[in-house]
């Protein structure tokens, strides 16, 4: 089973954290240790294809979650968080879509991303 993101309870709400399949342990939290300037630089490098292969999924998920409404964080902190589990779950959907886009090289239309963040499941064999 591959590594996957999960919604976890955090001291101030809910966060997105990696569940590491090989170690059966929890990994990094999205946004952990970042600050606004580093996120903007990360976004530019990612779009230019100048990030390490091993980091691409984490960066894609981080950038998707960073732009989700309701996301809060303190720079250089424990990462992004949402006050509600529903908000964190929506961000999880968007992060997972970003990872799918990366793997398939097929971007989803904005309407599909927003619909999926609110619970829409694409029909079987649907292609972006």
17, part of any domain: yes
79, part of any domain: yes
Mean pLDDT value across residues 24-45: 85
Domain extent at residue 49 = 4-117
Number of domains present in the structure of the chain: 1
105, part of any domain: yes
88, part of any domain: yes
pLDDT-wise least confident of 35-39, 56-60, 84-88, 122-126? 35-39
Helix or strand or coil: residue 25? Answer: strand
**CA–CA separation, 97 and 108 (whole Å):** 8
DSSP 64: H
122, part of any domain: no
**CA–CA separation, 126 and 128 (whole Å):** 7
124, part of any domain: no
63, part of any domain: yes
8, part of any domain: yes
> What's the predicted TM-score (pTM) here?
0.84
């Amino acid at each position: 089973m591959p590594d996957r993101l999960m919604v976890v309870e955090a001291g101030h709400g809910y966060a997105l954290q990696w569940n590491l399949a090989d170690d059966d342990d929890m990994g990094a939290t999205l946004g952990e240790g970042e600050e606004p300037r580093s996120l903007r630089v990360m976004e530019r490098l990612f779009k230019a294809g100048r990030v390490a292969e091993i980091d691409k999924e984490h960066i894609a998920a981080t950038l998707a979650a960073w732009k989700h409404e309701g996301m809060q964080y303190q720079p250089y902190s424990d990462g992004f968080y949402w006050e509600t589990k529903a908000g964190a779950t929506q961000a999880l959907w968007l992060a997972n879509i970003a990872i799918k886009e990366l793997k398939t090289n097929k971007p989803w239309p904005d309407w599909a991303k927003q619909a999926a963040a609110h619970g829409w499941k694409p029909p079987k064999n649907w292609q972006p």
